[in-house]
Structure formats: C-alpha cells, structure tokens
C-alpha cells in the first residue's frame, strides 16, 4: 500500500535527521554575529601616500600580518582578519568590550626609533623659535616637553627581538626589550660612544623616555614613562608584533556592546516565537486538519533553516533572525496556494484523491516561480551586501529552499499517507472569504493618478531632505548610542555634547527614554563619552553601539546598493518575461514592484527614518514579495487563457483576480503577522526594517491588483 510513499518518507526522515544533527547543539554549531554577541567590525585602509613607490605594492599584506600577530596576542576568541581589495583590511573582533584599547592596538603604527639628544640648551631654544638647526629636529613627549634630537636614526624597532612588561625601582610598570644580534651590535656601539649623553626612545613620533647612558649596553634596555599596567602591556604587545608599514585609517566601524547584543538576542527570540506562534495559530484555526499538517511542515522548515545555517557554518545575525521569521511567514504562501486550490477542487465535487493530486499539481508552477524570483533578489543581496545583510540573504535563501521542500513534498506525503490509511475521509476548512465578482479594472485610471501623485510628490519631498534622507551607511559619519541608568533630559545631553566641542551633532532618543543616539560627522567618541560621564556623575552612560562610515565607503555602499536593485529588477523582469512568454508580463510586474519599493522609501522619509544598508535588504525583500504576489495572478491568467479562450481579456483578468482574492488577502495577512511581530518585539534596530516591509507588503497587494494587471491589459491590447 505504501510502496509509492516509502522513498519519500525515507527522504523526509533522512532530511529531518540531518537537520537535527546539523543544528544541535545550537551554541556549538551556529556562530552568532557581532550584532548579537557584541564586538567590533572594522574596515581599515592602509595609507600608503607617504611610502616610496617600491614599498606600496605589498604594504597591505605586511600590515595584515602585523595586525594578525597583534590580535593573536591580544587574546580575542575566533577573530576574523582578511584583506579586501588592494589596500583595505577587514577585522572582526567578537566579544570586545574596550573599544578604545582595541583601536589603539590595531591602529598604532609602533614605529620605534633610538636617537641621540642634544645637550646644548641654546640650540634647543633656536629650534623651538623656528630657526633651522642642521642635523637636528624638535620632537616632543606626551606632555609636550620638547627635545632636540639628531635626525640620524642609528637603530629602529626592526632590531627588537622581544618586549615584555617589567617593574622599576618603585614598582611602576615599564617595558623591557631585548635586541636581535644585529641590533645588539649597533646598540652596543651607540651606547659605548655616547656615555653621559641622553638617548631618546621615540615611538610614533613621540618621545617615550630619554635616559642618560651610564655605560655600554649590548642587547637589552627599558622604556620608562607614566604607564598604567594596561598601557605597558599593550605597548609591549605592539612592539613584539612589529611596526606597521604605514598608518591605518578607519574607513568603517561597527561596534556593539554586550548589553545591546544580549538585548538583541532576547528581542530576536521573542519576535521569532511570537511571529511563529501567530502563524501556527492562524493555520490551525482556519484550515483545521490541513492547517495542522502545514504547521508540521513549518516546524520542519524552521529545523531545516537552523540545520542549513549550521551545515554551511553560516553566522546568525539580527537581520538573519528577521529573515527566518519572514521566510516562515512567506512559507505559508505555498501552503495557502495549495489549500485554496484544494478548496476549488472540492467545490467541483472531486474525490479526495483528485483533490490532493490536482491541488498540488496546479499550485506548483506559481510556487516555483514566486520562490525563484525571491531567491534571485536574495542572491543579489548577498552579492552586493556586507556583514549582517549577507546573513539576511543566506537565511532567506535557505528558508525559501526549505519551504519549497516542506510545502510541496512533506505535506503531500502526509496527505497521501492519511488518505491511503483511510484516515482522511474528507477535507474541511473554514471559508471566510467567499467567491467575489468585483470589477477590479474599473477604477484603474483613478489608481494610476493616485499612485503617480504619491510617487512623484513623495520623491519630490525625499529630494528636499538631501543628506538627511540617508543614514551614515551612505552619507558617512558616526553614530554613538548611549544607555543611561535613568531617563535624561535631551537638552542637558545636547548641552554636554556641545561643551565637548562637537557642534554638528544630531541627537535623538532611541527606543527607551534612557537611550540616546548621537550622530556626528567624525570620530568624537572619546570627547563625548568623557563629557557625558562628567556631566551626569549620578547617572553614568554606557556606550552600547558605535557605527562609523567614511565618505569613500559610503560612496561604495551607495554604488553597490544601486547595483543590487538594478540587477534585481533586470533579472526578475527577464525571468518573468521568459516564464510567461511575453515582455508585457515582465515589464508590468517590474513597474508594480518598483512602485512598492518607492512607496516604502517615501514612507520612511515621511516618518523620519533615514535609508540604511539594512533597509536595502528590506527593499529587495519587498521587490521579491511584490513579484511573488503578482506571479500568482499571472499564473491564474495563464491558466484561464487555456481554458477560456473566447473570454475577453479584461473579463479574464477580473475573473483571475476574483478567484485569487482570498489567497492574496490570506497570505498577505499571515505575512504581516510576522512583520508586526518584528516591528513590536524585534528591538529598535529591526524596527525600521519591519516598518518598511509592512508598508511594502501592503503596497504590494494594492499594486498587484490595481497597477500590474491593468498595465498588462493595456499592453496586451496594444500588442
């Protein structure tokens, strides 16, 4: 009896077993992104402008090795360090909490020099006054005290063999160093011939100490100064790892504190649980037994997503969690398509066997086309995105692939097994939306005008915002987010920031009343943080997030975002035109999805939400969902063209829209449940993403009915 089902059952069990084995235990097999566990993401540019031409070619490679050595000694667990392009280095440091220390260790050039100090006070006075003193130059220490040093550098840090922290006569920390054989030879000759003179130890253009040479020194020495224990440890670390070949400029920084990371995990888990719970509840209540079967498939879908992430060693990010919630919501679309097809077969009086077979067969083409177009958008998002956005794309692709398998194979096997076991005498489902006979095409001209006014007027308003319409991902700048123990008056915070010397800051409350976000044009974290702590001693702020993007990176991200959107439109248009064998289908669908993306963009501008890299992910998701919705209508139009050849095309479109109305409303409503869950419970970072998706999905229903299909009628008539 079950011979035909046995291979499929075994396949499902094998896939489920692989998913369980891959996914659990989650903590060991799925790594968390920096936005969930806290840490730093840096893009550093090697500034080779002052290097001779012959030293520029491999400067980035040499800098990479130095940074890797420093990070290894710094003790960061599972860091990621790699070169990007010709002169950029990407550094990811999970779990880092001391931002200033990490930046100092990564960026410090650590160029060490040993230079003799002039003992002539008159020469020093002349040099300070600006007179040229041949063979000498003025170099100051950290406190500003001037030293007249010989320009000749007899020994540099290349002669160092090792460095470690030691303790001086009064227990103060100092850095002891040992020299290589070649360095020892030079140092021995230098000290032997200059007994009684001062020798300056210069680090990155600053005098660290200038002791008097008491006797010949061969292979070791000390660097003294006003060091703390941590400063001495870090100085010894950078000296051991060697000097950078050139300075490093921070082009992009994203630092998440552990407090915000933990909050993000809690918010993500909560949003996922509530979103999945609402989807399961709706399916079980509305579709009864078929709904329970769909819930079983959705549970396996979630397991397959987790298993896929673990199997491919993917990193789970906060947008990735949003991708899981959304793909589960969109996975319902396939089940709803199948169940609504089954409902139609039941109305025709088919047998249970025919209802199952026809329901799946007739829904398959729409499911395949709609999922493939969304996968195209996700692929381009991965191609042109960075960091967490790639995590969103990965989870979306894995989720959509899993939903195809669970919706088309798993549920069908369960239906077939129940039917063969005579446990499915009938299929019952609630039916709240009956058959309609609405003329959807009648108001199309009014809808054209309304949409045109909204898009043109909205884009006009968007253009007036200028750089305010864009986040730092595209315009450049820095965002600092502080968490106070108690709510603080914004005027007091603004006054403190102004007193810190930052005049171009933009301040706003972010999320809760005790969270403040400060946006500036450059790196002002140290100044702002010190001033806020001094201004609010009884309510100390904690720095929970720093994001910084340089202007060149912002331009690059803008370029890549436009490329992603452009190629998404082209690929979707070509695919839809190919599948439906008419360019008018593809162009009408592209106009509709472009309408939805622009409406979402305008809604963000009106509500004061700047466009960020995360929102580019939202736009491409909206594009995929919009064409998904449109393809279902196109599929029904294609089917009716074969069965109702003599029906006028306008009547045929209206019939297709009425027949699929229940599916359109149901799937959009269920997907919006997950978006609402993200909006309300996903945390502040996902709030803008969920808002854009909600606006885009609602617009997608409207554009499918009142933009795409009327345009299809217009162009098909002309053809």
What's the rounded mean pLDDT across residues 222-242? 79
Instruction: Report which DSSP code applies to 118.
Output: P
Query: How sure is the predictor about 385, in pLDDT bands with cuts at 50, 70 and 90?
Result: low
Using the CB atoms, write b or e for 99-130: b if 16+ within 10 Å.
Answer: beebbebbbbbbbbbbbbbbeeeeebeebeee
**CB within 8 A of 716, min separation 6: which ones?**
582, 584, 649
Q: Cβ atoms within 10 A of the Cβ of 428, count?
A: 10
Q: What is the mean pLDDT of the segment spanning 422-446? A: 85
Please give the mean pLDDT across all residues of the chain. 83
Domains present along the chain, CATH in parentheses: 6-105 (3.30.70.3400), 112-243 (3.30.1360.200), 257-427+438-465+554-718 (1.20.1640.10), 478-547 (3.30.70.100)
Alpha helices in 194-257 (DSSP H): 229-241
Higher-confidence residue: 600 or 513? 600
Give the pLDDT of residue 9. Answer: 63
Once rounded to an integer, what is the mean pLDDT over residues 259-273? Answer: 78
Q: What is the pLDDT of residues 681-700, one digit of tens each?
A: 887 777 888 899 999 999 99
pLDDT of 455 above 90: yes
Span 141-158, mean pLDDT?
Answer: 89
Question: Both tokens of residue 211?
Answer: 């002791």
Rounded to an integer, the average pLDDT of 331-349 is 88
Sheet holding 206-209, edge to edge: 155-156, 112-116, 199-203, 206-209
For residue 501, count other CB atoms closer than 10 A to its CB.
10
Work out the pLDDT band at 2, boundaries 50, 70, 90. very low
Digit-coded pLDDT (tens) for 71-89: 887 777 778 888 888 888 8
Indicate whether 1 pLDDT > 50.
Answer: no
Longest dimension (CA), the chain: 110
**137 is written with which tokens?**
């130059």
User: What does the pLDDT read at residue 545?
Assistant: 86
Residue 639: count of CB within 10 angstroms of its CB:
15
pLDDT at residue number 12: 67
pLDDT digit string, tens, across residues 234-256: 878 877 877 788 888 888 888 88
Q: Are 253 and 41 in contact (CB under 8 A)?
A: yes
Contact 208, 175 (CB under 8 A): no
pLDDT digits (tens, 9 = 90+) for 539-576: 888 888 888 887 777 677 777 777 777 887 788 777 77
44: exposed, middle or buried (Cβ count in 10 Å: 0-12, 13-18, 19+): buried
**Percent of the chain surpassing pLDDT 90:** 12
pLDDT at 16 over 70: no
pLDDT higher than threshold 80 for residue 122: yes
Identify the residue with better confidence: 439 or 717: 439
Mean pLDDT of the 119-144 span? 87
Helices 709-718, 583-606: crossing angle, 10 deg rounding: 140
């Amino acid at each position: 009896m079950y011979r035909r089902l046995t291979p499929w059952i075994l396949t499902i069990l094998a896939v489920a077993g692989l998913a369980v084995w891959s996914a659990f235990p989650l903590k060991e097999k799925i790594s968390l992104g920096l936005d969930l566990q806290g840490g730093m993401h840096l893009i550093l540019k090697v500034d080779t402008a002052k290097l001779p031409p012959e030293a520029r070619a491999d400067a980035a490679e040499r800098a990479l090795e130095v940074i890797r050595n420093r990070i290894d000694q710094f003790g960061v667990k599972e860091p990621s360090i790699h070169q990007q392009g010709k002169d950029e280095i990407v550094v990811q440091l999970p779990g880092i909490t001391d931002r200033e220390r990490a930046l100092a260790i990564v960026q410090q050039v650590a160029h060490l020099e040993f230079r003799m100090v002039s003992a002539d006070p008159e020469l020093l006075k002349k040099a300070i006054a600006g007179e040229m003193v041949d063979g000498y130059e003025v170099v100051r220490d950290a406190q500003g005290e001037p030293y007249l040093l010989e320009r000749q550098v007899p020994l540099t840090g290349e002669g160092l063999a090792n460095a470690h922290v030691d303790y001086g006569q009064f227990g103060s920390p100092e850095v002891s160093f040992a020299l290589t054989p070649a360095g020892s030879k030079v140092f021995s000759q230098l000290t032997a011939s200059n007994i009684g003179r001062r020798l300056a130890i210069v680090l990155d253009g600053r005098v660290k100490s200038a002791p008097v040479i008491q006797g010949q020194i061969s292979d070791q020495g000390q660097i003294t100064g006003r060091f703390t224990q941590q400063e001495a440890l870090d100085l010894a670390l950078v000296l051991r790892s060697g000097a950078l070949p050139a300075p490093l400029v921070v082009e992009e920084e994203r630092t998440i504190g552990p407090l915000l990371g933990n909050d993000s995990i809690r918010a993500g888990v909560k949003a996922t649980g509530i979103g999945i719970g609402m989807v399961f509840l709706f399916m079980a209540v509305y579709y009864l037994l078929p709904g329970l079967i769909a819930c079983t498939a959705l549970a396996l879908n979630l397991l397959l997503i987790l298993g896929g992430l673990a199997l491919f060693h993917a990193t789970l990010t906060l947008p990735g969690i949003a991708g899981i919630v959304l793909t589960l919501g969109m996975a319902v679309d396939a089940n709803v398509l199948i169940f609504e097809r089954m409902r139609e077969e039941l109305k025709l009086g088919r047998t249970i066997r025919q209802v199952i077979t026809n329901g799946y067969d007739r829904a398959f083409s729409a499911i395949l086309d709609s999922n493939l177009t969304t996968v195209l958008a996700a692929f381009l998002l991965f191609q042109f995105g960075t960091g967490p956005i790639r995590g969103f794309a990965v989870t979306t692709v894995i989720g959509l692939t899993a939903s195809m398998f669970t919706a088309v194979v798993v549920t069908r096997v369960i239906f077939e097994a129940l039917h063969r076991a005579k446990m499915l005498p009938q299929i019952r489902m609630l039916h709240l939306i009956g058959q309609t006979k609405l003329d959807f095409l009648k108001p199309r001209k009014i809808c054209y005008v309304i949409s045109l006014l909204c898009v043109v007027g909205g884009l006009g308003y968007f253009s007036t915002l200028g750089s305010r319409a864009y986040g730092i991902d595209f315009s450049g700048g820095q965002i600092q987010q502080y968490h106070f123990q108690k709510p603080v008056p914004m005027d007091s915070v603004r006054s403190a920031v102004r007193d810190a010397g930052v005049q171009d800051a933009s301040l706003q409350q972010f999320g809760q009343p005790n969270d403040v976000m400060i946006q500036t044009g450059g790196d002002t974290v140290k100044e702002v943080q010190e001033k806020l702590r001094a201004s609010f001693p009884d309510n100390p702020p904690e720095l929970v997030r720093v994001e910084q993007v340089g202007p060149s990176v912002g331009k690059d991200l803008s370029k890549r975002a436009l490329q992603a959107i452009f190629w998404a439109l082209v690929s979707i248009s070509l695919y839809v035109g190919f599948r439906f064998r008419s360019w008018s289908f593809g162009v009408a669908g592209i106009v509709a999805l472009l309408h939805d993306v622009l409406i979402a963009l305008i809604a963000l501008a009106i509500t004061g939400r700047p466009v960020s890299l995360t929102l580019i992910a939202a736009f491409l998701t909206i594009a995929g969902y919009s064409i998904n919705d449109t393809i279902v209508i196109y599929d029904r139009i294609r089917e009716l063209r074969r069965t109702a050849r003599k029906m006028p095309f306008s009547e045929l479109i209206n019939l297709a829209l009425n027949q699929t109305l229940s599916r359109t409303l149901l799937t959009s409503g269920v997907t919006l449940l997950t978006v609402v869950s993200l909006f309300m419970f996903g945390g502040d970072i996902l709030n803008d993403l969920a808002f854009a998706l909600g606006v885009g999905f609602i617009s997608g229903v409207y554009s499918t009915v009142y933009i795409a299909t009327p345009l299809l009628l217009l162009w098909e008539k002309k053809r």
